Amino acid sequence: MDTHGIIIPTKDKLFNLEPLLSRTPGNIITWIILAVGFVITVIRFTVGIGSVTNLTEAQPWGLWIGFDLLCGVCLAAGGYFTTVACYVMGMKHFHSAVRPAVTTAFLGYAFVVVALLYDLGHPLRLPYMFFFPGTTSVLFEVGLCVATYLTVLFIEFSVAPMEWLAQKFPWLLTCRKIVIRVTILLTIFGVTLSTLHQSSLGSLYLIAPGKLHPLWYSPFMPMFFFVSSMAAGASMVIFEGLFAHKGVHQYMDATHLREADGVVLSFARAASFILFAYFMLKFIDMLVQANLPWLGTGWGAWWLVEMFGFVLLPALLYAKGARDGNVGLCRLTSVLAVAGIVLNRFNVSMIAFNWQLPSAERYFPSIWEICISIFVVTMIVTAYRFIVYNMPVLYEHPDFKGEEH
Amino acid sequence: MNRRKFLTILGSAGVVSALGSAKVAEASPASFPYYPDSWGVLHDTTRCIGCRRCEAACQKVNNLPEPKVPFTDLSVTEKKRHTTAYEWTVVNKYEVNGKPYFRKLQCFHCNDPACASACFARCFSKLPNGAVVYDGSQCVGCRYCMVACPFYVPGFQYDLAWDPLVQKCTFCEPRLKEGKLPGCVEACPVDAITFGRRSDLIKIARARMAENPGRYVDYLYGEYDAGGTAWMVLAPAAGGAPVPVDDPEGAGAEFKQLGLDTHLGSQPMGQLTYGALGAVPMIVAFWPVLFGGAWAMTKRREAMAKLEQEKIIKDAKDDLAAAVDAAVRKIGETEGEGAAERARQAMTETLKAREAQNSGDGHGEEK
Ligand code: SF4
Ligand code: SF4
Ligand code: SF4
């Protein structure tokens, strides 16, 4: 096996922490961000939400919902997208992409919940929604689905840590067998839950037609959110690969490297189709809702920037990259596509939200809100690195080689 | 989706105005006032003098903190203030057709409140007496109620680290129970806010319109808007020609100038999400079937491919065996039985070795 010198943790040396603790510039920046984040966390939970945010009565949801929740969940869509492609559609050549995608999806969702705790006035009461279920609320559906899906992702992901620890705790082998046997059930369960909560993130805003600009408000928002989450899922797999190949290249085995380019090209082609479809849907919706006159306004110009610059352009670039077999172009396009998704979620939740309010009452995130969001992203990256350095995610564990599931 | 539903969705999206679709509302059971005997308040903006006595009364009867600007300072009404967690009602000045008018802002106590529909911990309830009340003991502090409220009413105690709650006008529910008037109503010196049964208030409003031609816009805000509200507003008319019915934008102008949203439609806001929520069981039922089917097809394709592969291998093996047999027979004929036996052994061993080598690399079998 071509290991590039992958350090497989052994029974006696379980942890491979050296790459996380060495004094590289990246690590030093990480430590600083984590330290600052910790301080803001203490302030947030001892002085109140108002002390670190610019939230108001008019804008009760700011960056923590707009970025950490809306974008976080959407960008973690790579998990369901990849597992469905591999297990349901039988595209076995994506197999090496499944574990990294499931890992990032699991981390993404886990930290969505962590970030949510900052935003809740009563973080410890989060489970109350199960005891006093407000079944008429879209938020209830979101909460229920995210909680269940997080559990599903945890089980799907658990194979990697179990393989990592199996030498020390052999009973984990039995658990692992069970999990692998129910993989397909988990996958189907997962895609159902994903459909529900990806779309219901869009449904959250259905209740506020007076607050969201007509170009973004639509009865079809749930569908828009779902369709764009598929494009986000495919794009995020490519986007993450871009960084993984820079940062943790030496942890990839030969299979992963061999399949990586194929994964990029196939996912780029899929994303291109989905983005085209999304573009058409949005455009037809705009015409049906008689929003054409709005296009002449500043909001219309902004909407066109989003639609042409961040939906149609990446669709075309993906199509070209996939046809020419140009992996580099596909990777660059994924940056644009991911930015487009973030822009769309920002528009719905912050920029075009409360568009009628005078500019003095408009919301702009405070520096501390931004810091917490950066802090959360840094925690995700650090957790991802820890996992990749220790667990068989980008390579197959030699003990379990050939045991595809 | 039937036509009316479609229209109201469009209406809520800002294409058909609330005024234009008021007729639709009459036919819709959802906008039926749930508690016909419930209380309400009529706010006549043509009478309001902007004295802020209602603000002061609200602060007093509800033990709210002292205001930053004393209630005697009337200049704050120039600024467009919102209600907050600590100011449950505020009075703002608006220019309507060039003349100054005042409007009191507070919770509208909607018939089918958006805040209650949005809360995922069931903190809000609409009481039979008309009040929409909030119980903070199970509030998670997610503030989705604030996102949902079309009137920007609920405030949040952002300044509290422990037990921050959503706060808004309670309709003085505790006082209503004692048979007292809401603090603000009691304090109003000019009868700009009238307390009564909601059904009576609608009649009173119509009567005022009839008795004072040209004084009011011929529309009672809150009768149907957002599914109907317990607190309703009368607006001063332009004093000129009546606005043509086919010009919904123009018809709402006075209310718009008073800072009221005329595009809310006549359905309760919560109903906008029911369609999406109704799709949940469909997806739960349908998706597993769909993806299960896709998976079964994939499996079957794989199984067929495997069978075919096995058949090819078997044929090749049979061919090989036949060839070996023929070769051995040939050797037996020319070289004798002993040589044939040795040749067979050598060939079998070679084949075995190769087979072992082949199955050694590449990925293992699928499960
Ligand atoms: S005005 Fe807002 S807070 Fe008051 S009942 Fe209606 S939706 Fe709820
Ligand atoms: S903030 Fe409290 S009352 Fe408002 S929706 Fe959330 S849980 Fe319900
Ligand atoms: S009804 Fe009571 S709580 Fe509401 S604004 Fe009037 S005084 Fe304040």
Residues 6+ apart with CB under 8 A from B31: B25, B111, B224, B227, B228, B266, B267, B268
d(CA A272, CA A340) in angstroms, rounded, equals: 13
State the pLDDT confidence band at B241, using cuts at 50, 70 and 90. Answer: low
Q: Which residues contact A301 (CB under 8 A, 6 or more apart)?
A: A295
Instruction: Kindly report the pTM of this predicted structure.
Output: 0.86
- Whether A323 shows a pLDDT value over 80: the answer reads yes
Say which ligand is closest to the CA of B132: 1
- At B36 the three-state DSSP class reads coil
Least confident of A8-22, A222-236, A386-400, B310-324: A8-22
Q: Is the pLDDT of residue B366 over 70?
A: no
The ligand placed nearest to the CA atom of residue B115 is 1
pLDDT at position B364 over 60: no
- For a ligand 3 pocket test, name from B88, B107, B168, B185 the mutation site with the most ligand atoms within 8 angstroms of its C-beta: B88
| ipTM reported for the complex surpasses 0.85 | yes
pLDDT digits (tens, 9 = 90+) for B330-347: 888 888 888 888 888 888
A19, A286, B241 from B20: Cα distances, Å: 66, 22, 18
pLDDT 10s digits, B180-217: 999 999 999 999 999 999 999 999 999 999 998 888 98
- Checking if the pLDDT of B23 tops 70, the result is no
Q: Does the CB of B119 have a partner CB in chain A at under 8 Å?
A: yes
Distance from CA of A123 to the nearest CA of B (A): 7
DSSP-H helix ranges across A127-247: 128-131, 138-157, 159-165, 172-181, 183-203, 221-247
CB-based contact A210 B279, cutoff 8 Å: no
Longest dimension (CA), chain A: 69
Nearest to B366 among A49, A121, A404 (CB): A404
Segment A97-126 mean pLDDT = 92
Residue type, A183: T
Residue B159 and residue B162: Cα distance in Å, rounded?
9
A178 in contact with B, Cβ within 8 Å: no
Does A182 score more than 60 pLDDT? yes
* Tens digit of each residue's pLDDT (9 = 90 or more) over B268-284: 888 888 888 888 888 88
Angle at which helices A95-119 and A221-247 cross, to 10°: 110
Q: How far apart are CA A44 and CA A32, in angstroms?
A: 18
Identify which of B42, B58, B71 to mutate to test ligand 3's pocket (most ligand atoms within 8 A of the CB): B58
> Above 90 in pLDDT, residue A274?
yes
Pocket lining: B169 vs ligand 3, CB cutoff 6 Å? yes
Structure tokens at B244: 């043509």
Chain B contact for A1 (CB, 8 A cutoff): no
User: How many angstroms separate the CA atoms of A179 and A173, rounded?
Assistant: 10
Residue A107 pLDDT > 70, yes or no? yes
DSSP tag of B229: B
User: For chain B, give me the number of helices (H) and strands (E)?
Assistant: 12, 9
Number of neighbouring beta carbons within 10 Å of residue A91: 17
Contact check, Cβ <8 Å, B148/A195: no
The pLDDT assigned to B333 comes to 85
Q: Which of residues 299-328 of A touch B (CB under 8 A)?
A: none
Q: Phi first, then psi: what are they for A215, rounded to 5°?
A: -70, -25
Query: If you ran DSSP here, which 8-state letter would residue B307 be given?
Result: H
Question: Would you state the pLDDT for residue B278?
Answer: 82
Q: From the CB of B262, is ligand 3 less than 6 Å away?
A: no
CA pair distance B197, B195, nearest whole angstrom: 7
For residue B25, pLDDT beyond 60: no
Spatial contact of B8 and B266, defined as CB atoms under 8 Å apart:
yes
Q: Which of B293, B180, B286, B185 is nearest to B230 (CA)?
A: B185
- Rounded CA Rg of chain B: 38
CA distances from B66 to B50, B104, B184 (A): 19, 19, 16
Q: Are strands B155-156 and B166-167 parallel, antiparallel or unpaired?
A: antiparallel
Nearest to A378 by CA among A19, A30, A42: A30
Q: Which residues, 6 or more positions from A341, have their beta carbon under 8 angstroms from its beta carbon?
A: A71, A74, A75, A228, A231, A232, A235
B164: chain A residues, CB-CB within 8 Å: 48-49, 121-122
Nearest partner of A195 among A101, A81, A282, judged by Cα: A81
Cβ-contact B262, B255 below 8 angstroms = yes
**A310: which DSSP letter?**
I
Measured from the Cα of B143, ligand 2's closest atom is 1
pLDDT at residue number B29:
43
Q: Looking at chain A from residue 185 to 244, which residues have their Cβ under 8 Å from any Cβ of chain B?
A: 187-189, 191-192, 195-196, 199-200, 203-211, 214, 217-219, 222
Amino acid at B321: A
Highest mean pLDDT among A82-91, A298-307, B240-249: A298-307
Q: State the pairing for strand pair B39-44/B99-105.
A: unpaired
- The closest CB to that of A209, out of B12, B143, B294, belongs to B12
Structure confidence by residue, pLDDT tens digits, B86-99: 999 999 999 988 88
Q: Looking at the predicted structure, is the pLDDT value of residue B236 above 50?
A: yes
Average pLDDT, chain A: 90
Please indicate if any CB of chain B lies within 8 Å of the CB of A141: yes
Are B13 and A217 a contacting pair at CB < 8 A? yes
Residue B51 or residue A5, greater confidence: B51
Q: Measuring from atom 6 of ligand 1, which residue has the nearest CA?
A: B110
Chain B residues 31-70 with CB within 8 Å of chain A: none
B171: left (phi > 0), else alpha (psi -120 to 50), else beta?
Answer: left
Residue B15 pLDDT > 70:
no
**What are the residues whose beta carbons fall under 8 Å from the beta carbon of A383, sequence distance 6 or more?**
A107, A111
Q: What is the DSSP letter of A88?
A: I
Cβ–Cβ gap A60/B147 under 8 Å: yes
3-state secondary structure of B341: helix
Range name among A48-57, A88-97, B56-65, B205-214 with the lowest pLDDT average: A88-97
| Predicted confidence (pLDDT) at residue A378 exceeds the cutoff of 50 | yes
* Atom 2 of ligand 2, residue of closest alpha carbon: B139
Instruction: Kindly determine whether residue B13 and residue A141, on different chains, have CB atoms separated by under 8 Å.
Output: no
Q: Is residue B353 very low, low, confident or very high in pLDDT (cuts 50, 70, 90)? A: confident
pLDDT score, position A404: 52
- Give A112's pLDDT tier (boundaries 50, 70, 90): very high
Instruction: Kindly list the residues from chain B whose CB atom is less than 8 angstroms away from the CB atom of residue A138.
Output: 118, 273, 276-277
Show which of residues 144-203 on chain B sit within 8 Å of chain A, judged by CB atoms: 144, 146-148, 150, 152, 154-161, 163-165
A325-360 confidence digits (pLDDT tens): 999 999 999 999 999 999 999 999 999 999 988 888
What is the pLDDT at residue B243?
52
CA distance B347 to chain A (A): 30
A18 CA to chain B: closest CA distance, Å? Answer: 32
